[in-house]
A and B are shown apart, each in its own frame.
Chain A
Amino acid sequence: MAGLARLEGDTRAAARGWSDLTIRNVFILPTIAFLIIFNIFPLIYSLGYSFTDFRASVNDPVNFVGLQNYRELLNDPNIWRNFTVTAQYVIVSVGGQVIVGFGLALLLNRKIPFKGLITTLLLLPMMMSMAVVGLFWKLLYDPSWGIINYGLGLGSFDWLSNPDMALYAVAITDIWMWAPFVMLLSLAGLSAVPSHLYEAAAIDRAGTWYTFTRITLPLVAPILIIAIIFRTMEAFKSFDLPFIMSGQPTTEMISIRLYKMAFQEWQTGRSSALAYIVLIVVLAITNIYVKYLNKVKER
């Protein structure tokens, strides 16, 4: 490719051992091939299913139904409710993680004793299995013997069986688990801000807020956006936590609906169509983020 020729030292290096082109191909292509086989191939498979009435649980003949699955899904108010719930959850949960995680990073971004130890200890929640975390938080939230109500003096306040509260209760658990992730990445971004910029700001007698919005935030933004991309994707896919913790319609996220459709009801064709709708939504959201990320990086 043309771009390669412009690389300095290319000809010299190519004379000895592998050429840059070979190295690039050997380094990149296996990964691409691997991902195509194990991610794209199944996708093509399920794209095919999404136009059929295939049910993996029975031996009935499979019929091509065109766009019927998509049409029916998009006309189903329940599916829209699932998407609304998911959006709510993503906003509350990722928003909370960014506030708590970034806040923690700001607090930790200074010389304090045992900084390394504290940072690592804070990572413990994200080292646990979601399924187990969900189970234990159910115990913690229990109005009769949980420590949350006991500690906060909430009496028999109902978290998970209360349709208005359940989503927030699950989101709090998710924030507890993943705010440390945002914290770690933000900390990386914060410590990368050259200290001479702050010194210059101090000489200019810039205010704390000014320093924060004009120096800190723009320089941390790229890595913060990466953290948000990953967390948004994960929150969008959330399954284990809400599934284990609550049965409320107000916490039935799209992946739970998808799971039920695919693995309880075995509507393989229709669930593949729903999976595609979900995929397109996630792709669109991520694409917006990535565009924004590239713009921020170019500045």
Chain B
Amino acid sequence: MAVVTSSGRRVTNRIAIAAILVITIIFLAPIYWIASTAFKPRQLATSVPPTVLFQPEVTPFVKLFTKRVQLRGPVDPEVYDAAPWWEQAIYDGGERVLRVGDSVQLSAYPNRFMNSLIVAITSTFLAVAMGTLTAYGFSRFKMKGEDDLLFFILSTRMLPPVVVAIPMFLMYRVFGMTDTHLGLIILYTAFNLSFAVWLMKGFMDEIPKEYEEAALVDGYTRLQSFFKIVLPEATTGIAATAVFSFIFAWNEYAFALIMTNRRAQTAPPFIPAQVGSGLTDWTVIAAGTFLFLVPVAIFTFALRGHLLRGVTFGAIRK
């Protein structure tokens, strides 16, 4: 087929769109399954055949946020009737809520979720800020052994976390940084920096030097021209880098598992731990997963414009 006619192209386009739709549906099916499981009654999570249509309920979320224990016998009907709707839902599931005095005991989920927010946001900010500056430095100024340095920076991301975990742990112990937010923030920043430098350097290389030089001629200092000219031009790259860094920090599992305990632990090691009463309660795990996906999805969707403009960035320049 040497000549591509316009009608031929239209047919190819239609086939492509159909293929995209099919692939998108396949890719999203598991996520739909998790999201729908988060609203299912417990028995339907493993029903045969799989249940697609059902009466959604929020019981999994109630369970997600409370400490519960199995019922050892039937509930007193008076107690049951006096209980609020959400507690009745837990009774219906064969469990009851734990209390200290009168107050309901919350599960660790809200606390872990907050820790995740603190750690992910701070470390993302630091990695992007440092990565942007470093990338600019590498992009604009020649340096002896520049390639080696860049390779060194990249190599810091090659280490399996297990490799650094033991010495890091002992080091943190000395500084009293195990099980602190600061400890995790530093770790994630270190891990994201290499990615940030590499990604940002690509963007910095694309920004024409002439822009800055014009600014220098206009009397700007180099620093001013960086902040006033280069940084705004690099917004797209910064946004894309931030998204990737955030996704990593938000979901990191191995270090969070090893380096933190009850005070600073993030949610990823906690969510799969919601085993429930002698049986995996898939609905609660799904609820935890679903809720945990929301912030990162919002963040990505909010920066979507940048992310996608970042995708076409090079094309505009060339």
Contact = CB atoms under 8 A, between A and B. Distances in A.
Interface of A: 1, 3-4, 6-9, 12-13, 16-18, 20-21, 23-24, 26-28, 30-32, 34-35, 38-43, 45-46, 49, 56, 104, 107-108, 110, 112, 115-116, 118-132, 135-137, 139-140, 142, 144-147, 150, 176, 180, 184, 187-189, 191-194, 202, 205, 207-208, 223, 226, 229-230, 233, 236-237, 239-240, 244, 255, 258-259, 262-263, 268, 271-272, 275, 278-279, 282-283, 286-287, 290, 294
Contacts of A127: 247, 250-251, 293, 296-297, 300
A180 B153 CA distance: 25
Interface string B186-217: 11011001110110001000000000010011
Contacts of A28: 133-134, 137-138, 143, 149
A129 B254 CA distance: 11
Interface residues of B, number: 108
A237 B253 contact: no
Contacts of A255: 160, 162
B55 interface: no
A17 B226 CA distance: 12
A224 to B, nearest CB: 13
Interface string B126-170: 000011011011101111100101011111111111111111101
Interface in B251-304: 251, 253-254, 258, 268-269, 271-272, 282, 285-286, 288-289, 292-293, 296-297, 300-301, 304
B48 A145 contact: yes
A31 B30 contact: no
A207 B19 contact: no
A139 B282 contact: yes
A51 B138 CA distance: 37
B134 to A, nearest CB: 4
Contacts of B228: none
Helix, strand, loop or mixed for chain B's interface? helix
Given A3-B143, A28-B137, A110-B13, A23 B2 contact: no
B238 interface: no
Interface stretch (B21-29, B64-72, B75-83, B100-108): B21-29
Given A18-B223, A31-B130, A286-B158, A208 B308 contact: no
A-B pairs, top 10 by smallest CB distance, nearest first, are A3-B142, A192-B314, A17-B221, A45-B167, A27-B137, A42-B167, A275-B163, A129-B251, A28-B137, A27-B133
A189 B34 CA distance: 32
Interface of B: 1-4, 13, 16-17, 19-20, 23-24, 27-31, 33-34, 46-50, 130-131, 133-134, 136-138, 140-144, 147, 149, 151-168, 170-171, 186-187, 189-190, 193-195, 197-198, 202, 213, 216-217, 219, 221-224, 226, 247, 250-251, 253-254, 258, 268-269, 271-272, 282, 285-286, 288-289, 292-293, 296-297, 300-301, 304-305, 307-308, 310-315, 318
B285 A124 contact: no
Choose among A21, A127, A230 the residue with the greatest number of B CB atoms under 10 Å from its CB: A127
Nearest to A257: B162
B34 A239 contact: no
A131 B193 contact: no
Given A38-B187, A125-B27, A127-B247, A192 B138 contact: no
Given A13-B222, A27-B136, A120-B301, 8 more contacts: A3-B142, A39-B164, A112-B13, A136-B33, A188-B311, A194-B315, A236-B160, A278-B160
Given A27-B133, A282-B158, A116 B304 contact: yes
A149 B302 CA distance: 36
A45 B162 contact: no
A112 B20 contact: yes
Most buried by B among A42, A46, A184, A239: A42
Contacts of B195: 230
Contacts, number: 295
Contacts of B304: 116, 120
B155 to A, nearest CB: 6
Contact of A121 (B28, B156, B288, B311): B28
B222 A147 contact: no
A131 B141 contact: no
A4 to B, nearest CB: 6
Given A18-B221, A39-B159, A290-B154, A239 B272 contact: no
Contact of B161 (A20, A136, A237): A237
Contacts of B312: 188, 191-192
A275 to B, nearest CB: 4
Q: Considering residues A24, A31, A110, A236, which has the most beta carbons from chain B within 10 angstroms of its beta carbon?
A: A31
Nearest to B23: A104
Contacts of B19: 107
B16 to A, nearest CB: 5
B234 to A, nearest CB: 13
A42 B171 contact: yes
Contact of A35 (B13, B49, B153, B247): B153
Contacts of A56: 166, 170
Contacts of B272: 131-132, 135, 244
